[in-house]
Amino acid sequence: MWDSGTRSPIIPPMQPRKPTRQVTLGDDRVGFVRIGGGKPDASGNPTEPAPVVCQTMTAGYTHDVDACVAEINKLAAAGADVVRVAVPERKDTEALKEIIPQVSVPIVADVHFHFKRALEAVESGVHKIRLNPGNISDRAQVNEVIDACKEKGLPIRVGVNEGSIIERRDKQKRKEELGKYFAGHAQGHLLALMIAKLEEYLDIFRERDFHDVCISAKSMDAAFVTDVYREISERFDYPLHLGVTHAGPKETGCIRSIAALSGLLTAGIGDTIRISYANDPIYEVEDGLELLYSLGLRERTGIDLIACPTCGRIQVDLFTLVQDVRSALASEIRVPMKVAVMGCIVNGPGEAEGADVAIFAGDRRGIIYVQGERVANVPEEEILERLLEECRSFQTKVESGEAELGQKVVEIVPPDPIGELGSGFDKIARGDVEKVTGVTVGETG
């Protein structure tokens, strides 16, 4: 039996964040981003767990300076706290010298195969390095990177990936690993190999007394990601960077990522996330933030758009309207304003309850309410502009202190949808009916 005072028994209650060491990246110009926390810092001072950080990675070439700067700043404007860039060549690490002074968030250099790219990136002023134990494993080389980062106070992410975990260059080592971990082809062996590689790699850092470390262990299998991070979280106290790698196109990658990440975050595991899609990384930021907002792990900073799925009652092009509202207001609204876009007045009022601005469409018209007060009744072609105008004007009032968010719920009594009033909307639209009380409204939405 559902009890409104508790969560559903099938959803485990949100666990407190697991305490970790904390790493900080950034500089005076771009600001500082903290990842993890709850354990004492190097001087023994307690640290507060930082809000879960949302990061992404650019899709373009880093050496194309202007395009890279534009992409980073676009991602930052969408809410990315940290942006990672690939530095496969010397020209990429060189480009960082020009890129970093022009961007507004900390930058991470993603290094594979050649440790010199890490040293060059540090010299170019990058804020954090990502190393892959699967392709940079020489102890002396890793030590050089550690020393360079230590000198500049930069953290390092140790990121193992399912795709690069098995040794490929050293034939003897590869044979041994396959024999030891994959004789039975069980997925559990892969997990054991990942943990073993991490342990071995992190020993290099511990021996160097370097603890400014984040860890990731990614796979394209959501269930495996869940298992491996649970295991890592038991074994290490470094902050964890969560992600499902190569998750695929946005449409399915979204589900795959959320399946893994929401379970881990609910269990208190994870300090920073990257959703990865074969698509524009702007979607990674939008969806990553939405996940954190939805789980209550971050305070929403922009529009909270709700919309009905539509049904046979719909009489306007609601899908287009919703997308237009979203694209127009996603970066413009700076306060957590709840906006409801509802297809009709049958279930719309109930579904929009609590919205600051709401529209109920139907009969090729739309009625707009601001905190329960009806402010407009316009034909379909004017809905978008009027709705945007009302949202902008409401934001101005909130920012000036004239209005407060979420203070008044939408209190609209809809007309009887099947009784005396018929669909009801035409009469509401004409202004014949303002309010009809004592009716029962069907449940279809």
| Smallest separation, CB 434 to ligand SF4 (Å) | 19
Choice from 343, 366, 414, 424 touching ligand SF4 (CB under 6 A):
343
Judged by CB under 6 A, the stretch of 98-106, 246-254, 310-318, 420-428 that binds ligand SF4 is 310-318
Residue 441 lies near ligand SF4 (rule: CB under 6 A)? no
Of positions 124, 276, 310, 423, contacts ligand SF4 by CB under 6 A: 310
**Which residue number, 295 or 439, has a Cβ lying nearer to ligand SF4?**
439
Among 216, 245, 257, 347, binds ligand SF4 (CB under 6 A): 347
Rank residues 220 and 378 by Cβ distance to ligand SF4 and give the closer one.
378
What DSSP string runs through 367-384? Answer: EEEETTEEEEEEEHHHHH
Binding mask 351-390 for ligand SF4 (x = CB under 6 A): x---------------------------------------
Q: Which is nearer to ligand SF4, 51 or 417 (CB)?
A: 417
**DSSP state for residue 172 in the 8-state scheme:** H
Given the complex with ligand SF4, which of 153 and 442 has the nearer CB atom? 442
The distance of closest approach from Cβ of residue 312 to ligand SF4 in the complex, given in angstroms and rounded to an integer, is: 7
Query: Six-digit token pair at 41?
Result: 């810092």
Q: Which residues pair with 22 in a beta bridge?
A: 36
Contacts with ligand SF4, 256-295, as mask; x by CB under 6 A: ----------------------------------------
Cα separation of 58 and 85, whole Å? 6
Should residue 346 be labelled a site residue for ligand SF4 when binding is judged by CB under 6 A?
A: yes
Residue type, 203: D
Q: Which of 344, 358, 367, 429 binds ligand SF4 (CB under 6 A)?
A: 344
Nearer to ligand SF4, 78 or 305 (CB): 305
- Does 412 participate in binding ligand SF4 (rule CB under 6 A)? no
The distance of closest approach from Cβ of residue 367 to ligand SF4 in the complex, given in angstroms and rounded to an integer, is 13
Of 335 and 384, the one with the shorter C-beta distance to ligand SF4 is: 384
Structure-derived torsion over alpha carbons of residues 228, 218, 299, 129, reported in degrees to the nearest 10: 120
Min dist CB 348 to ligand SF4, Å, is 4
End-to-end CA distance of the chain: 22
Query: In the complex, what is the shortest distance from the CB of residue 327 to ligand SF4, in angstroms, rounded to a whole number?
Result: 21
Task: By CB under 6 A, tell whether 417 contacts ligand SF4.
Answer: no
- Supply the DSSP symbol for 360: E
- CA 230 to chain CA mean position, Å: 20
Torsion-angle region of 125 (φ positive above 0: left; ψ -120 to 50: alpha; else: beta) = left
SS3 342: strand
Q: Which residues contact 357 (CB under 8 A, 6 or more apart)?
A: 337, 338, 339, 340, 368, 369, 370, 371, 387, 390, 391, 394
Please say whether the dihedral angle defined by the alpha carbons of residues 376, 381, 382 and 387, taken in this order, is positive or negative: positive
Start-end of H helices in 81-137: 90-99, 115-123
Return the DSSP state at 137: -
Residue closer to ligand SF4, measured from CB, 354 or 445: 445
> What CA–CA distance (Å, rounded) separates 206 from 236?
12
Comparing CB distances to ligand SF4, the nearer of 227 and 363 is: 363
Coil/strand/helix, residue 177: helix
Residues 6 or more apart whose CB falls under 8 angstroms from that of 295 comprise 14, 262, 265, 266
Position among 106, 263, 348, 414 found at the interface with ligand SF4 (CB under 6 A): 348
Q: Indicate which single residue of 274, 313, 338, 365 sits in contact with ligand SF4 (rule: CB under 6 A).
A: 313
Q: Counting contacts by CB under 6 A, is residue 311 touching ligand SF4? A: yes
Contact call for residue 314 and ligand SF4 (CB under 6 A): yes
Among 86, 108, 308, 383, binds ligand SF4 (CB under 6 A): 308
E strands, 99-141, are 107-111, 128-131
Find the angle CA(112)-CA(117)-CA(120) to the nearest 5 degrees: 155
Q: Rounded to an integer, what distance in angstroms lies between the CA atom of residue 217 and that of residue 364?
A: 52
Distance of alpha carbon 344 from alpha carbon 283, whole angstroms: 29
Q: Is 80 or 441 the residue whose CB approaches ligand SF4 more closely?
A: 441
Give the β-pairing of 365-370 and 373-379: antiparallel
Q: Is 423 in the site for ligand SF4 (CB under 6 A)?
A: no
Task: Using the rule CB under 6 A, give the single segment among 98-106, 157-165, 199-207, 340-348 that binds ligand SF4.
Answer: 340-348
In the complex, the smallest distance separating the C-beta of residue 411 from ligand SF4, rounded to whole angstroms, is 17
What residues make contact with ligand SF4 under the rule CB under 6 A? 308-311, 313-314, 342-344, 346-348, 351, 444-445
